[in-house]
A and B are shown apart, each in its own frame.
Chain A
């Protein structure tokens, strides 16, 4: 009954206040293009030095939770995702808004994000130490296979426009290789520009291609405002029981996927979102409705996105291994307050970590509050005339691009990729494969080559054929075949008929 005591400490004035501050900052930053939970945590880290450990962790945790949700709103309403993970939400969320179902879209994304977040927190609360051991099984080869899952998703996404999609992915892959080769110390493709010597920074590129390109699309389409109909906001943000039941499967599944992938160090939110989306689409009776405003697509991604929050903290708190970039910042926070990850954290230092976990749960409730009660207000954005919206988005995107590395060059980068994204959009070249390849490419290549380096040391078979890697290979192959299963079956039927 220890644990329930810890729950009580949440309700001091100081803790609640910092929870609110963190939650608000998180949502605002998450919604702003280019900024995310990372930005918020990075900024608040020094601010929390002088706070007591529990308060500091609660505040940062709240930023993480709501920061992962903030981008959902702009992705769904304005097609400008705040971060690379929310981009999957634009696939089905934005079409819903265009159809006039903007409020419903907010409702769907809010509720599923809430469920995803809670599932992640529950995993953290009840099975963290057990789950954390998983991270150790992942050597370079296993990580490569996991990242391959993400790449295979690309193939599933571009079935209809296969050629254009593959070209887009190839370009994205090449762009991901720009920069320092981790294994040899050599710089590739920097074309003499010192700002991209290390890497082509993720944020400005993704921001440019997805958010900023929207600016140009809106200008070209000469649209007065995002939603054209008079009574644009039909329906309500509160989903009916029937609608909830309809989405339940995708939401729960997305939550679990998000949590599990969050635990695996290399994968990250984008893979979780993509995987969840793909799974939802391929197992639905009507896969073609995805991408045109099917709430199931939106729900599955939103749930996965927030599931990653809890998942990524599992290996971090138990082993000190960050599940993704944002949780790595948490490591710094722990260190500053003299808390070391590990079993000690859950026993002698239990009160801090359980304070954090309960704080996370409460922050998820904030998501519900922000989303459901603020929906009507946010939805008004779609009615704001583009002549006002576009300059605002521009100013924010430029700032967001800068804030990533505090480099002026990144502002030019975001503009450049905004134009590229615009042209790709207009020419029918799909953007999602580019982004997926861009996010995952380097990691895939690196882990593959590293696996080969490790094989040179010992026996190749002991590296390639571990139980985990065999499992992953099976999953990868299955995912590769699945989208084409229908056509393969037809092929066999034909041959059967002929014989």
Chain B
């Protein structure tokens, strides 16, 4: 039986931690004040140390893909991309308009096919937000550049 050599996803976590603590460490050097710099530098070095121990243990086989389930990540990231577009839209046309368009779109992508539900939820939620936050609480809502 061929044993498939699968990519150990723990390496992603390890890489991310190296990246973060590395970025912070580099940033530390641009801090002029030594009092401000000391503790973060120690922390960054500690973090990279931990990441190294982690790496060693992954290579030794202590951490496997046994408890890790990455299936569905592609779908999740796709949704994340759409949400990013939604945020951009908010900054262009304002919160209400962007949300009215986003919600049916999202529901369709997630598999909802019942038009009554889609429209009902869309209208209902926006109405609630408008009445509760816009009118009753007169909260500042995100505004778009194009419309006010």
Q: Does B67 contact A (CB under 8 A)?
A: yes
Q: Which residue of B lies closest to A395 (CB)?
A: B99
Whether A395 contacts B87 by the Cβ 8 Å rule is: no
Chain A residues within 8 Å of B24, by CB: 174, 189
Q: Which residue of A lies closest to B35 (CB)?
A: A184
Q: Which residue of B lies closest to A390 (CB)?
A: B110
Q: Of A222, A412, A427, which is in contact with the most chain B CB atoms at under 10 Å from its CB?
A: A427
Within 8 A of B (CB), among A121-177: 163-164, 166-167, 170-171, 173-174, 177
Q: Residues of B within 8 Å of A, CB-based: how many? A: 67
Chain B residues within 8 Å of A43, by CB: 137-139
Chain A residues within 8 Å of B83, by CB: 394, 398, 415
Whether B72 contacts A220 by the Cβ 8 Å rule is: yes
Q: Does A4 contact B (CB under 8 A)?
A: no
Chain B residues within 8 Å of A220, by CB: 71-73, 75-76
Whether B47 contacts A219 by the Cβ 8 Å rule is: no
Q: Which residue of A lies closest to B27 (CB)?
A: A189
> Assuming the A-B contacts A390-B110, A394-B106, are A427 and B47 also in contact, with contact meaning beta carbons closer than 8 angstroms in the complex?
no
Chain A residues within 8 Å of B138, by CB: 43
Within 8 A of A (CB), among B5-53: 9-10, 12-13, 16-17, 20-21, 23-24, 27-28, 31-33, 35-36, 39-40, 43-44, 46-47, 50-51, 53
Whether A391 contacts B107 by the Cβ 8 Å rule is: yes
Q: Does A388 contact B (CB under 8 A)?
A: yes
Whether B33 contacts A426 by the Cβ 8 Å rule is: no
Q: Which of A250-258, A261-269, A336-344, A403-411 contacts B (4 or more CB under 8 A)?
A: A403-411
- A177 to B107: give the CA distance in the assembly, Å: 38
Chain A residues within 8 Å of B84, by CB: 412, 415
B10 to chain A, nearest CB (A): 7
Q: Does A216 contact B (CB under 8 A)?
A: yes
> Assuming the A-B contacts A174-B40, A188-B40, A427-B13, are A215 and B79 also in contact, with contact meaning beta carbons closer than 8 angstroms in the complex?
yes
Within 8 A of B (CB), among A443-471: 445, 449
> Assuming the A-B contacts A220-B71, A394-B106, are A385 and B112 also in contact, with contact meaning beta carbons closer than 8 angstroms in the complex?
yes
Q: Of A385, A391, A423, which is in contact with the most chain B CB atoms at under 10 Å from its CB?
A: A391
Within 8 A of B (CB), among A155-210: 163-164, 166-167, 170-171, 173-174, 177, 181, 183-184, 186, 188-189, 191
Q: Of B40, B54, B91, B125, which is in contact with the most chain A CB atoms at under 10 Å from its CB?
A: B40
Q: Does A286 contact B (CB under 8 A)?
A: no
Chain B residues within 8 Å of A166, by CB: 50
Q: Does B61 contact A (CB under 8 A)?
A: no
Which of B12, B32, B44, B132 contacts A427, CB < 8 Å?
A: B12
Which of B23, B87, B106 contacts A412, CB < 8 Å?
A: B87
Chain A residues within 8 Å of B80, by CB: 216, 415, 418-419
Chain A residues within 8 Å of B57, by CB: 163
A208 to chain B, nearest CB (A): 11
Chain A residues within 8 Å of B47, by CB: 167, 170-171, 174
Q: Does A399 contact B (CB under 8 A)?
A: yes
Q: Does B129 contact A (CB under 8 A)?
A: yes
- A183 to B46: give the CA distance in the assembly, Å: 23
B99 to chain A, nearest CB (A): 5
Whether B13 contacts A429 by the Cβ 8 Å rule is: yes
Q: Does A28 contact B (CB under 8 A)?
A: yes
> Assuming the A-B contacts A167-B54, A171-B21, A415-B87, are A184 and B36 also in contact, with contact meaning beta carbons closer than 8 angstroms in the complex?
yes
Whether B76 contacts A177 by the Cβ 8 Å rule is: no
- A186 to B68: give the CA distance in the assembly, Å: 41
- A356 to B65: give the CA distance in the assembly, Å: 55
Which of A181, A221, A429 contacts B36, CB < 8 Å?
A: A181
Chain B residues within 8 Å of A486, by CB: none
Q: Which residue of B lies closest to A412 (CB)?
A: B87
A334 to chain B, nearest CB (A): 22
Whether B102 contacts A395 by the Cβ 8 Å rule is: yes
Whether B91 contacts A408 by the Cβ 8 Å rule is: yes
- A43 to B138: give the CA distance in the assembly, Å: 8
- A221 to B103: give the CA distance in the assembly, Å: 20
Whether B31 contacts A188 by the Cβ 8 Å rule is: yes
Whether B75 contacts A219 by the Cβ 8 Å rule is: yes
A195 to chain B, nearest CB (A): 13
Q: Does A64 contact B (CB under 8 A)?
A: no
Whether A174 contacts B43 by the Cβ 8 Å rule is: yes
Whether B21 contacts A174 by the Cβ 8 Å rule is: yes
Whether B73 contacts A426 by the Cβ 8 Å rule is: yes
> Assuming the A-B contacts A189-B27, A423-B16, are A402 and B121 also in contact, with contact meaning beta carbons closer than 8 angstroms in the complex?
no
Chain A residues within 8 Å of B125, by CB: 392, 395
Whether B132 contacts A391 by the Cβ 8 Å rule is: no
Name A's B-contacting residues (CB within 8 A).
Answer: 25, 28, 43-44, 163-164, 166-167, 170-171, 173-174, 177, 181, 183-184, 186, 188-189, 191, 215-217, 219-222, 385-388, 390-392, 394-395, 398-399, 402-403, 406, 408, 411-412, 415, 418-419, 422-424, 426-429, 445, 449
Further 12 A-B residue pairs, CB within 8 A, beyond A186-B31, A220-B71, A220-B76:
A166-B50, A171-B47, A174-B44, A177-B39, A219-B75, A219-B76, A387-B107, A391-B107, A392-B103, A395-B125, A406-B140, A423-B16
A sample of 13 cross-chain residue pairs with beta-carbon separation below 8 angstroms, ordered by A number, consists of A163-B54, A166-B50, A186-B31, A189-B40, A216-B79, A387-B110, A391-B107, A395-B102, A395-B129, A412-B84, A423-B13, A426-B69, A449-B35
